[in-house]
Amino acid sequence: MDDASIKKTGAANKKPIFAEDERINPVTGFFIEITLLTKFAFRFIRESFRAPHEFREFIRQCYLVGYRSFPLIAITGFIMGLVLTIQSRPTLARFGAESWLPAMVAVSIIREIGPVISALIFAGKVGSSIGAELASMKVTEQIDAMEVSGTNPFKYLVVTRIGAATLMLPVLAIVADAISLYGAYVGVNIKGDVNFTLFIIKSFESLEFSDVLPAVIKTFFFGFAIALLACYKGYNADKGTEGVAHSANSSVVLGSLAIFLLDMIAVQITDLLF
Amino acid sequence: MENVIAEIQHIKKSFGEHHVLKDMNFSLEKGENLVILGKSGSGKSVLIKCMVGLMQPDDGKIVILGENISQLDNNELNKLRKKIGFLFQSAALYDAMTVRENLEFPLRNLRSKSEEEIEELVLEALRNVGLEDAIDKMPSELSGGMRKRIGLARAIILKPEIILYDEPTTGLDPITSKEISHLILDIQKKYNTSGIIITHDVECARLTANRIIMLKDGRMAVEGTFNELAASNDEWVNSFFK
């Protein structure tokens, strides 16, 4: 090979870290996966700031992951608020603290249940959809087709999806919180008679800035993690239809797991700071 | 040599212990259709994927339109790719987009065409493949032959200088195969493009080839025109043509 063919930095110059037929033990495999995922996340950050930006596709993805997820999140949010109220009432009534019901439900919903349940629903709907779509594009050579047409598929497919999910989940979680509170109001009125204004006053009386802000901030991380994992799994899929199924499945499983891990970290940090 | 627009020199590519390409050498001249014939799994598709940077050869040099592709950075590689059309074996149409959006995709990426120009180029590409009526259809509504035609329309929409065809007639009936082969010839004449056609379909090779290269054990085994190879006394060459 002469000097002229010494490689520079092109996309073509990527070689696999391991030979394809090399057997890797599960522990090594886990750390390789973590390393590759980290590289994938850094590539996302790098490509996000590099022009040209795919605004049109980003807006389309915001519509798909945000607006299209709204009905499911809204229904779940309503049921969540309603059920939580109905389930909590007997216990509070036993201690004569029924008047605390709106406050208790509001704190539960805003601080924890709203963000986490919305994120889990989001992981099921959006995570699986991104994982399956990208994997299917990968195994049917659509990603290769994008690349040979001179488009950066990472920027077009991955950056837009992760960006949209990161931005849309907090919006959906806030909407879910509001609808959950309405569900709780309906729940309170099944066996009682509280007007809406009083219910809202009672609910917000117990809420502080330190309840709302961390809860909203963590949903950005939930959205980022769900889409990052789904894109990573889909973008690197192989083995035909089996690969598509695996990507969709692991996007949901890993996305859900990431939500709980991030939530645990968020709670610890909130506890330290507020 | 001034007519040579692509040169492949000593290309080697292995997957683990499986050596797919051992020492490939050939060149492509301006305006010619070069057919690469070989058995399935002989590394034909790997070869053209190396030519557009979708795969990296383990060794060797690929020069296309005067550019050594292993020396290009991502931006330079993307610029070069716009001068190369690629028809995938499965056509690789974007499932989530209509035919119109599929064809618009490479044009919008240029960011220099007006809406009118894009519309005009899309219609011209569809006219070339005889599928103007399919403009608003989704890929799932198209037959295998139609998908290949739309894939071809997308490959030529940027008016490339070289078109790489990966098994253009695989999975099609003999009549549709012949139509696709004639379409390849029409495009060659109309746009004066050079083409590399990867196939194991001898009829497609007969119709489209100015020159044929046959691959065996990761190397170029024989080279010649269709008539020369069809008249060969070599038993292995004959097994393809009879």
10-residue averages of pLDDT along chain B (242 residues): 84 88 91 90 88 92 92 89 92 94 91 89 92 93 92 93 92 89 92 92 92 89 90 86 76
- Which of A5, A19, A145 is closest, CB to CB, to B61? A5
Judged by CB atoms closer than 8 Å, whether chains meet at B61 and A15 is answered as: no
pTM: 0.86
B54/A148 Cβ within 8 A: yes
Question: What is the model's pLDDT at position B74?
Answer: 86
A69 CA to chain B: closest CA distance, Å? 18
How, if at all, do strands B59-64 and B219-224 pair? unpaired
Contact status of A141 with chain B (Cβ, < 8 Å): yes
Are A20 and B56 within 8 A, CB to CB? no
ipTM greater than cut 0.85: yes
Task: Give B-chain residues touching A47 at CB under 8 angstroms.
Answer: none
Q: Place A22 in a pLDDT band, splitting at 50, 70 and 90.
A: low
Distance set, CA A107 to CA A112, A210, A269, B182 (Å)? 8, 11, 18, 71
Cα distance between the two ends of chain B: 34
Residue A126: how many CA atoms within 13 Å on its side-chain side?
38
Asked if omega into A52 is within 30° of 0 (cis), the reply is yes
| pLDDT at A6 exceeding the cut of 50 | no
The answer on pLDDT for A241 being more than 80 is: yes
Q: What is the pLDDT of residue A272?
A: 87
Size of interface A-B (CB pairs under 8 A): 113
Which of B56, B111, B154 lies at the smallest CB-CB distance from A13?
Answer: B56
The DSSP call for residue B133 is: G
Q: How confident is the model at residue A252 (pLDDT cuts 50, 70, 90)?
A: very high
By Cβ distance, the residue of B10, B16, B76 closest to A21 is B16
- Tell me, what DSSP letter sits at residue A236? T
Q: Which residues of B touch A150 (CB under 8 A)?
A: 78-79, 81-82, 106, 109
Chain-chain contact of B71 with A4 (C-beta, under 8 angstroms): yes
Average pLDDT (A43-55) is: 91
CB–CB of B105 and A149 under 8 A? Answer: yes
Alpha carbon B176 to its chain centroid, in Å, reads: 18
Residue type, B124: E
DSSP letter string, A8-21? -S-GGG---SS-TT
A228: number of Cβ within 10 Å: 24
Straight-line distance from the first to the last Cα atom of chain A, in angstroms, rounded to the nearest whole number: 62
Per-residue 3-state assignment (H helix, E strand, C coil) for B2-45:
CCEEEEEEEEEEEECCEEEEEEEEEEEECCCEEEEECCCCCCHH
Which residues lie below 8 Å from residue B127, measured CB to CB, with a gap of 6+?
none
Half-sphere exposure of A193 (CA within 13 A, CB side): 0
Q: Is B88 in Cβ contact with A149 (below 8 Å)?
A: no
Cβ neighbors of A205 (< 8 A, separation 6 or more) are: A103
- A132 in reach of chain B (CB within 8 A): no
Name the more confident of A61 and A239. Answer: A61
Report, as an integer, the average pLDDT of A111-119: 95
- Chain A hits for B52, CB-CB cut-off 8 Å, are 147-148
Chain A residues in contact with B84 by the CB 8 A cut-off are: 148
Task: Name which of A6-20, A37-51, A239-253, B166-180 the model is least confident about.
Answer: A6-20
- Of residues A191 and A252, more confidently modeled: A252
Q: What b-and-e string marks burial along B37-72, b requiring 16 or more CB atoms within 10 Å of the CB?
A: bbeeebbbbbbbbbbbbbbbbbebbbbbeeebbbbb
pLDDT tens digits for A81-107? Answer: 999 999 999 898 888 888 888 999 999
Question: With 50 as the cut, is the pLDDT of residue A13 above it?
Answer: no
Q: Tens digits of per-residue pLDDT, A24-39?
A: 788 898 999 999 999 9
pLDDT at res. B1: 52
What residue ranges do the domains of chain B occupy? 4-241
Instruction: Render pLDDT for A180-217 as a digit per residue (tens, 0 to 9).
Output: 999 999 999 988 888 899 999 988 888 888 889 999 99
Q: What residues contact residue B216 under an 8 Å CB cut-off, 6+ apart?
A: B38, B42, B222, B236
B56 contacts in chain A (CB < 8 Å): 7, 12-15
pLDDT score at A3 = 41
Q: Which residues contact A103 (CB under 8 A, 6 or more apart)?
A: A202, A203, A205, A206
What is the C-alpha to C-alpha distance for residues B240 and B200, in angstroms, rounded to an integer? 8
- A12 vs chain B: nearest CA distance in angstroms? 5
B4-241 is a CATH 3.40.50.300 domain: yes
Determine the pLDDT at residue B99: 96
Match 């219910």 to its residue by tokens. Answer: A199
**Is A133 an 8 Å CB contact of chain B?**
yes
Q: Find chain A residues with C-beta within 8 A of B171's C-beta.
A: none
- For residues A129-151, give the mean pLDDT: 93
Domain boundaries, chain A: 61-273
Count CB neighbours of A34 within 10 A: 10
The CA distance from B63 to the nearest CA of chain A, in Å, is 10
* Option in A8, A140, A142 nearest B72 (CB): A8
